[in-house]
A and B are shown apart, each in its own frame.
Chain A
Amino acid sequence: MSTPTLWLAAVLPAAALVAGLLGLLLPPAPSHDRASARRTAVALGVAGAAVSLLAALALLVRVDAPVEASTTWIDLGGLRVTLGLRLDGVAVLVATAVAAVALAVQVYSIGYLRRGPHDDVDVDHRYPPYAAQLSLFTAAMLTVVVSGDLIMLLAGWEVMGVCSYLLIAHDRRLPEAPGAAVKAFLVTRVGDVGFLLGIALLGVGAGSFRIADVLAHDYGTGTLTAACLLLLAGVAGKSAQFPLHTWLPDAMAGPTPVSALIHAATMVAAGVYAVARLFPLFERAPAALAVLGVMAAITMLLGAFAATAQDDIKRVLAWSTVSQIGYMTGALAVGAPAAALFHLLTHAAFKALLFLAAGAVIHAVGTTLMSRMGGLRTAMPVTFWCTVVGLGALAGVPSLSGFWSKDGVLAAAEAAALDGAGPSAAWVGWLVWLAGLVGVAVTAWYATRLLLRTFLGTTRTPLLRPHDPPALLRWPVLLLTVPAALLGLAAFAPWFADRLRVPGDDTGEAVELVHLAPNLVLPFLLLLVGAGVAWAGWRRDPAADPARFLGPLRPVFVRAFRLDDVQHTLVVRPVGALARVVRTGDELGVDGLVEGSGRTAVEVGGGLAALHRAALPRAAAGVLAGALLIGLAVALIGVTS
């Protein structure tokens, strides 16, 4: 790797890291001078994200072939851990997306975490730690993206989890936030255990944790399948796939910019990115890909159906994220990582856009519940049109970015099902394809419902005077609308498609991201069906919720098939009971032993002391009798010997 590239690649995560660490180390401001601390925090956060974005753009221009640089960090006698960078087209594209969304979120947060029109009192938003944690998170995600070593990747992975935990619990006024943060952390942790074991298995097998070495090593099928399945556990956790998806809707307790950055565009995509990075290994383990396909199909439908019945606008978007990442993992399962990554990039754009626009609405209306919104189209036209673009991209309206990327996924699934292309079995392709098609219809349904309930119809809170958000909130939304609309067209540019080449694919043939074929029509028809049904239902009664047509299924969908309760019963309660048993054992047994020994010693000592505490008569008698006995003994021994 040439030196300027190396420097740029090092600056990429380092800029955000420095901004984060400086922000965390800033002394807490005195309460009367919060403004200057806030200014410093804003400056650090925006600067860190901006420098990282510039580095990413520079790398985007420079890097056209995979490059790598690494240095050995620890050598554990045959097991090498390196510090390294591995840049290829995929990495720089994802890094650019991450840095861009991070910058947008940093700027947006300046306006969002501020006293709003519905705040009665001036609340301390604790901006400095918030901005520092955002920067730290960005640095961790960028480390995961450019890392050339599995251990370094794991380090970034874990720091992301910590920052996610801290940021979800940021707003101390919300009683549900700490529980949501702990739930997010613990559920992803369960996945991370599998991830760590998978990495350990791969590293020990190859004798080195460097990704290039791991990809080049020839593993046995059993080891490889086991390692890939373990890695999938981590993917399921971080990317909120079934069965470890339960944390993502609750994580919406965090501030909306955090939801946009972490839980839509970046962290949840990290699992998909990791699989794509190690895809040559997954290709050789079809069993793991089959499991991934099943997971993806279930998740796609689960997320889509759960999104249809939610009242909270952020929860609709969260379940939508779960479902869309299902599309990405489904594409990976049928052996099309380029399609998965393309969908990842477009999803980052439109989902971040949707979250930030929803944040603008929440900021204006003061609630996240759609049942209290309505008729905002005339009051917030800019937000309305940006949301239209975002939802269109989500549903897959032709020519918007989501249409092209989703079509790529569906085409790959169809090819795997009908033609047997790709490393997985045909049934996996069928599963993913059919689930994907049903998902298109349902996605269109809930996207239309969201638009109708929020922006159209009569307003359900007439006393409010909502308006378009101020410039700091408006501009990031507007700027994100551009890639949400147009990124799909980049698929036609060969240099873009070429960048999404899977590592290790040396065939030299062009990567086809879009397939202009007659079967483009099928998803479009399903889109029209879904949107039409939603619109028709709304027209009957504009004030009512279209979700009422779900009938008895509505409560089931709202609770996401009660999987939260299943998790609670199967995992949380037994672990809680076990913890209580251990605690009681520790307090009674171990502590009891220690304290008991102390108490016993004191009591025995007290007893001996009482014995000693003889009055003079008894003491004198004892001493003299003892002397007599000793004298007798000595005399007798002297006589007998």
Chain B
Amino acid sequence: MTGADVLLLALGAVAVGAGALVVATRHLVRAGLWLVVCLGALAGDYLVLTAELVAWVQVLIYVGAVVVLLLFAVMLTRAPIGPSDDLDRPGWAAALVGGGSGLGLAVLLIDAFRWSRVDLPAAGTAERLGEQVFRSWVLPFEVLSVLLLAALVGAIVLSRPDIGRRSADEGGRQ
């Protein structure tokens, strides 16, 4: 077991633990915070796997923007600060399907890879990654920017307060 393996194991345990708490805790705000921990651990994982750009993009966007948005949403929907009892529905179906999928995938992957070894590539892949993005993957890149624009416009349209008020009036009349 090399140092990389130890780090991967530790960070993986942290991620899984934090993820379990995200889906199990009774505190809404704490769920968001445990999500930060989980995503941070994953960023660490990426660093170990020499994917620096992905790691820092993960921190910037996922931890920095997405989780912040989720916490904003939690606040705007008047989530209670303390524990709430009505957050969950009966868990047997969830456990069945969730457990089944998780464990099944794990079994599949263990069966595929066993205890094999792989050499990590050299560090400093950001420049090479940039080369790939802007050479082979430039079209999907541009399409993604259009998609982001569409999502932006959509989110703005959905969030306009006057549309909400008009629909509320019509909803009330119905």
Contact = CB atoms under 8 A, between A and B. Distances in A.
A–B contact at 8 Å CB threshold (below)? yes
Interface of A: 617, 621, 624-625, 627-628, 631-632, 635
Interface string B32-48: 00000000000000000
Contacts of A627: 101
Interface in B93-136: 93-94, 96-98, 100-101, 104-105, 108
A535 B108 CA distance: 125
A631 B105 CA distance: 9
Given A627-B101, A628-B101, A635-B104, 4 more contacts: A631-B101, A631-B104, A631-B105, A632-B100
A625 B97 contact: yes
A419 B94 CA distance: 116
B89 interface: yes
B104 A632 contact: yes
A628 B89 contact: no
19 contacts: A621-B93, A621-B94, A621-B97, A624-B97, A624-B101, A625-B93, A625-B96, A625-B97, A627-B101, A628-B97, A628-B100, A628-B101, A628-B104, A631-B101, A631-B104, A631-B105, A632-B100, A635-B104, A635-B108
Given A631-B104, A635-B108, A617 B97 contact: no
Contacts of B98: 624
Contacts of B93: 621, 625
A12 B39 CA distance: 107
Interface in B53-93: 89, 93
A617 B89 contact: yes
A628 to B, nearest CB: 5
B102 to A, nearest CB: 10
A99 B65 CA distance: 105
B106 to A, nearest CB: 12
Nearest to A625: B97
Contacts of B96: 625
Contacts of A631: 101, 104-105
Contacts of B97: 621, 624-625, 628
A547 B98 CA distance: 108
Which secondary structure dominates where chain A touches chain B?
helix
A630 to B, nearest CB: 11
B84 to A, nearest CB: 18
A128 to B, nearest CB: 59
A626 to B, nearest CB: 10
A88 B162 CA distance: 96
Contacts of A635: 104, 108
Contacts of B89: 617
Interface string B5-25: 000000000000000000000
Nearest to A618: B93
A625 B89 CA distance: 17
A617 B90 CA distance: 11
Contacts of A617: 89
B138 to A, nearest CB: 32
Nearest to A639: B111
A621 B93 CA distance: 8
A632 B100 CA distance: 9
B126 to A, nearest CB: 35
A627 B97 CA distance: 10
A635 B93 CA distance: 22
Nearest to A631: B104
A572 B104 CA distance: 82
A621 B98 CA distance: 10
Contacts of B105: 631
A618 to B, nearest CB: 9
Most buried by B among A621, A625, A628: A628
A632 B102 CA distance: 12
A617 B88 CA distance: 11
A127 B108 CA distance: 97
Nearest to B107: A635
A627 B94 CA distance: 14
A632 B103 CA distance: 11
A628 B98 CA distance: 9
The CB with the most chain A CB atoms within 10 A, among B97, B98, B104, is that of: B97
A94 to B, nearest CB: 81
Contacts of A625: 93, 96-97
A625 B99 CA distance: 11
A635 B101 CA distance: 12
Contacts of A621: 93-94, 97
Contacts of A628: 97, 100-101, 104
B172 to A, nearest CB: 23
A617 B98 CA distance: 14
Contacts of B104: 628, 631-632, 635
A628 B93 CA distance: 13
Nearest to A635: B108
Contacts of B100: 628, 632
B105 to A, nearest CB: 8
Nearest to B102: A628
B69 to A, nearest CB: 20
B28 to A, nearest CB: 18
Nearest to A629: B100
Contacts of B101: 624, 627-628, 631
Contacts of B108: 635
B30 to A, nearest CB: 23
Contacts of B94: 621
A632 B104 CA distance: 8
List the 5 closest A-B pairs by CB distance, nearest first.
A628-B101, A625-B97, A624-B97, A628-B100, A621-B93
Nearest to B101: A628
A617 B105 CA distance: 23
Nearest to A632: B104
